Each structure stands twice: as C-alpha cells, then as structure tokens.
A and B are shown apart, each in its own frame.
Chain A
Amino acid sequence: MAETTASQKKLVKFIITRQDSPDSASYVEEFEIPYRPGMNVISSLMEIQRNPVNVKGESIAPVCWESNCLEEVCGACSMVINGKPRQACAALIDNLEQPVRVQPMKTFPVVRDLVIDRSRMFNALKRVKAWIPIDGTYDLGPGPRMPEKKRQWAYELSKCMTCGVCLEACPNVNDKTDFIGPAALSQVRLFNAHPTGEMNADERLDALMQDGGIEGCGNSQNCVRSCPKGIPLTTSIAEINKQTTKHMFKQWLGV
C-alpha cells in the first residue's frame, strides 16, 4: 500500500489535441494523471475517461480514441505521439519524453479527438484488388505451391495492419494529391507474388497506373522508417515501379 501512495504522487503530463466534431476547430487540452508502472498511452486515455478532469480542474467530456487488440496488430490506435505517428497501445510512458503530446493523424479526416477515418486505405485495397479471387461455382482444386523462400519475405508484407502510419509519414499523401500511399503499393507486391494471385497481376498494375497510383511516390522514404511492422515498403515500391514499367512496355509493344 505504501508503495502505491508513493507512486501516486508522481504525475504524467499530457498535452492532447482535441476536436469535438469533424468540422469544428481543434484545440489543445492538458491533463495530469497519476503514474503507474507499465502504463501506456491507451491506459492513460482510459484513466482520463475514468476521471475526465483537465489540468485546470474543469470537468470535461472524456477524450475519444479508437483501439482494439492492444498488442499492435489491429492498427486502430494510430496517433501522433511526440511528433511521430505510431500505435498508442505500444507507446510505453516510460519510454516517452514528457509532457507527452498526443495528436490525431491529420492526414485522415478527424472524426472526433483522436479518432480518425481510415476509409481511404480500405478503398485503396479494393481499388488494387488486394485479394485472390478463387470463388466460383465449382471447386477449382488446389492452387500452385509457393516456394518457401518467397513465402518468407511475402509473410513480412502480409503483416500490414492498415494502420495508416506510413501515409501520415509521407509528404506526398496530402490534400493536394490523390496518391494512394505506400501500404496499398506493398499489398500489390504481396498479391502479385502469390502463385495464384499472380494470375491477376496485370489488373492490379493497371489500377496503379491510373491517376493517384504509383506515380505519386516521391522517394522521401519516410514510410519505411516509420512502419511499426518493419515492412520493406520502399523495396515494395521500387519492385512495383519495375512491374509497372515492364507492364507499360508490354502494352505498347502489344506483347
């Protein structure tokens, strides 16, 4: 018990960028919450939810956020923490400089406070057909096998959780462009590498050779430095550059 009282005296300061509705202006609110060992940004937000009082002692509407898995696999809790986009559930307070500044990923439409709308990413996956069409009226039988070596690197690409961090880090994903962003480009590489997915490779490349496709990449390479899953995004992008280039020449030469 004595230990709890001692650590309760220690406070963690938060500076949170809030927004009441999609169209309203954002504002900054400060909070101080008691330190607990092992706490992270999500557990801190839960604490604010339990006791929604800001640093001035005013009772306020609790801060809204989104989370699911709490183990950095669903991608729902992405936000900008101390300037860098990352998963709040994996952001341990012990490893963060204080005060902790928390902002929504403004590359996406803000729904409320830290909740953003990542629909554009799911639409992008639909646009590039990031799946393998095997459904039909009869059993097509087993597909071709995938070489183990390829499976190993393809597995890394399959770890993408559509969290949006790479789009937030990209200087070419903004309101002046309609660049699809790194995540979907890497998914095209994944599905084009699959022995069955390969059969629809051209369709995916065609989708990336439309307005807002792969040409939007400007090689800042922030994405690969930011991806929490360590996905080799810039290798994927260069590989898709190669595939689209080949596809273009094939089309022109009528092969």
Chain B
Amino acid sequence: MLIFENVVYEKGVRQFMKGYYARKLHSLLGVIPLALFFIEHALTNFGAFEGGPSRFNAGVKLLNDLPLVLVLEVVLIYLPLLYHGVYGLYIAYQAKPNNGRFGYERNLRYLLQRVTGVITFVYVIWHVYETRIQVALGNVTHEQLGSVMHDIVTQPVLFTLYLIGVISASFHFANGIWSFLVSWGITVGPRAQRVSSYICMTLFVLVSIMFVLSLIAFRRVEFQEASVWIDTVKSVLS
C-alpha cells in the first residue's frame, strides 16, 4: 500500500510539474490574484491623477493598514507573480512565432502576449526595486512613494521606459483575460470570442489611459518633496 501510494504521489508530482495542472495554475494565477491586483493598482494610481498626493497617499495608507499586510503581499502578489512570471518566460521561450507567414490579428496578439509578458517581467522587477524594496530597506517611507515616482517620471528616459512598461503590462493583462476565457472553456464559439475580444481590447485602452494619466500626474510639482532621500534614490538610479 505504501509503495502504491508512493507511486501515485510521484506520478502526481511529475504530472503536475510538466503538464496540464502546472499550466492551469499559471493561467488561474494570471487572473486570480494578479489581474485583480492589477486593477486595484490601476485604481490606486489613478487617485494620484484625480486627487493628487493626498488621495494617492490615502490609497497607499488604506492598503498598508490591512491586517497581516506582509503576508497578504507575499501570498497574493509575490508568490503568484513569481510562479506566473517564471513559467510565463518558459511558455514564451517555447513559442516559435510565425507572424510573417500568418499575419492574422489573433496570431499577432499571441506574439504580443509573449513579448509583453517578457517586458512586464523586466519592468516589474525594476519597478518593485525602486519602490517596495526601497521601503523595505528603509530608504524611503510609504508616504514618500509619490515623490519617488515624481523623481523617476520627471526624467525623460525613465518616463519613456515607464510608459512602455505600463502599456505592455496593460496589454498583457487585458489580452490575458481574453485568453483565460478561452483556456477555461468560458468563451467557446467564434461569436463569444469576438465579443470578448472587443471587451478586452477596450479594457486594454482604458487601463492604459489610466496608468499613463497617473504617470503624468506624478510629474506634477505637488508630488515633489525635497529631502535627503531623493539624492539617495538619484544615486541609486545613476
């Protein structure tokens, strides 16, 4: 019986790592929690555009006042992101794009899903390093994050990179939802998939606009805050 269980266990683990379940988990994590977090993030940042520093800081504070915030962060963001991101890189590596021969719109989105995934991977590491890790290292406080952002996006090159980052992530998020709906057999027929394309691409445009407006808002002078730590961040960046 023990041997039997062992075999079942080993087979189970191997099956999980290689095939169907690992991929399903990747897909699920893309939406729950990552896409949900992404929407939350878009809204909090949009607060910067709508209500300036006070509104943005209120949003940041609201999140940081959640109980067990570090546990929540790890379980709902870092671990899912790590799994989805690393497995996603593997999926992207396995693809052999043929957009030259098959110039169809869905095939283009297939390619972009992979390209934006890789861009998002690099961008997220950079962005988390500049914000959350600086907080963890004690270089800045949560209240100063608005001015950290101000300092970054007022530099033209970094602003451009941020634009590329947020637009890529927004596409990956929106098209990912389209793809998720197919992968779980929710949108089955051609009409359902077409309608969900329109909805998801509209979502892409809307979320992109929200993030871009937030980035522009962070450029406003009210987010500036002269203190020693800006120089610290500057020295880190240069």
Contact = CB atoms under 8 A, between A and B. Distances in A.
Interface of A: 83-84, 169, 171-172, 174, 176-177, 208-215, 217-222, 225-226, 232, 234-235, 237-246, 248
A169 B19 contact: no
B190 to A, nearest CB: 6
Nearest to B184: A245
Contact of A242 (B19, B101, B188): B188
B185 A238 contact: yes
B20 A234 contact: no
A244 B210 CA distance: 37
B84 to A, nearest CB: 15
Contact of A84 (B93, B101, B182): B101
A212 to B, nearest CB: 7
Given A219-B183, A220-B110, A248-B24, A235 B190 contact: yes
Interface string B171-196: 00000000100111111111001000
A219 B179 CA distance: 7
Contacts of B102: 169, 220, 222, 225-226
A209 B19 contact: yes
Given A169-B102, A238-B188, A241-B182, A221 B107 contact: yes
Interface in B99-126: 101-102, 104, 106-107, 110, 113
27 contacts: A169-B98, A171-B97, A172-B94, A176-B96, A208-B20, A211-B20, A218-B95, A218-B110, A219-B110, A220-B102, A220-B106, A220-B110, A221-B107, A222-B102, A222-B107, A225-B104, A234-B190, A235-B188, A238-B187, A238-B189, A240-B185, A241-B183, A242-B188, A245-B184, A245-B185, A248-B20, A248-B21
A212 B94 CA distance: 12
B96 A174 contact: yes
B19 to A, nearest CB: 4
A232 B188 CA distance: 11
Nearest to A242: B185
B197 to A, nearest CB: 11
A235 B110 contact: no
A239 B97 CA distance: 25
B82 interface: no
B20 A171 contact: no
Nearest to A222: B102
Contacts of B113: 218
A232 B189 CA distance: 9
B19 A215 contact: yes
Contacts of A174: 94, 96
Nearest to B100: A83
A116 B94 CA distance: 23
A201 to B, nearest CB: 14
Nearest to B98: A171
Nearest to A246: B185
B93 A176 contact: yes
A172 B104 CA distance: 16
Contacts of A217: 183
B21 to A, nearest CB: 8
